[in-house]
Amino acid sequence: MARPDDEEGAAVAPGHPLAKGYLPLPRGAPAGKESVEPQNGPKAGTFPVNGAPRDSLAAASGVLGGPQTPLAAEEETQARLLPAGAGAETPGAESTPLPRTALSPRRFVVLLIFSLYSLVNAFQWIQYSIISNVFGGFYGVTLLHIDWLSMVYMVAYVPLIFPATWLLDTRGLRLTALLGSGLNCLGAWIKCGSVQQHLFWVTMLGQCLCSVAQVFILGLPSRIASVWFGPKEVSTACATAVLGNQLGTAVGFLLPPVLVPNTQNDTNLLAYNISTMFYGTSAVATLLFILTAIAFKEKPRYPPSQAQAALQDSPPEEYSYKKSIRNLFKNIPFVLLLITYGIMTGAFYSVSTLLNQMILTYYEGEEVNAGRIGLTLVVAGMVGSILCGLWLDYTKTYKQTTLIVYILSFIGMVIFTFTLDLGYIIIVFVTGGVLGFFMTGYLPLGFEFAVEITYPESEGTSSGLLNASAQIFGILFTLAQGKLTSDYGPKAGNIFLCVWMFIGIILTALIKSDLRRHNINIGITNVDVKAVPADSPTDQESKTVMLSKQSESAI
Read off the pLDDT of residues 243-255 as tens digits, 9 standing for 90 and up.
Answer: 888 788 888 878 8
DSSP for residue 331? -
At residue 320 the predicted structure's pLDDT band, cuts being 50, 70 and 90, is low
Angstrom distance (rounded) from CA 196 to CA 190? 13
Nearest to 432 by CA among 363, 380, 362, 388: 380
pLDDT at 187: 93
Contacts 24+ apart (CB under 8 A), 266-273: 267/138, 267/197, 270/134, 270/138, 271/138, 271/195, 271/196, 271/197
Mean pLDDT on 113-127: 91
Whether 455 and 439 have beta carbons less than 8 Å apart is answered as no
| Chain segment 399-419, per-residue pLDDT in tens | 888 899 899 999 999 999 998
Residue 527 above 50 pLDDT? no
CATH topology for 105-306 is Growth Hormone; Chain: A; (1.20.1250)
**Amino acid occupying residue 71:** L
For residue 396, what pLDDT band results from cuts at 50, 70 and 90?
A: confident
Is residue 348 scored above 50 in pLDDT? yes
Res 551: pLDDT: 36
Q: Say whether pLDDT at 122 is over 80.
A: yes
Q: What is the mean pLDDT of residues 52-65?
A: 40
Neighbour count for residue 395 (Cβ, 10 Å)? 11
> Per-residue pLDDT tens for 466-518?
888 888 898 899 889 988 988 888 889 899 999 999 999 999 898 877 666 66
pTM of the model: 0.61
Q: Please report the pLDDT score of residue 310 as a whole number.
A: 67
Q: What is the DSSP string of 359-400?
A: HHHHSTT-HHHHHHHHHHHHHHHHHHHHHHHHHHHHH--HHH
Looking at the chain, the whole-number percentage of residues with pLDDT higher than 90 is: 18
State the pLDDT confidence band at 99, using cuts at 50, 70 and 90: low
Give ranges for CATH 1.20.1250.20 in the chain: 105-306, 320-523
- Tally the residues of the chain: 555
**In CATH, 320-523 is 1.20.1250.20:** yes
Amino acid found at 33: K
What pLDDT, on the 0 to 100 scale, is given for residue 223?
83
Question: CA-to-CA distance for 436 and 387, rounded, in angstroms?
Answer: 13
With 50 as the cut, is the pLDDT of residue 40 above it?
A: no
pLDDT at 58: 40
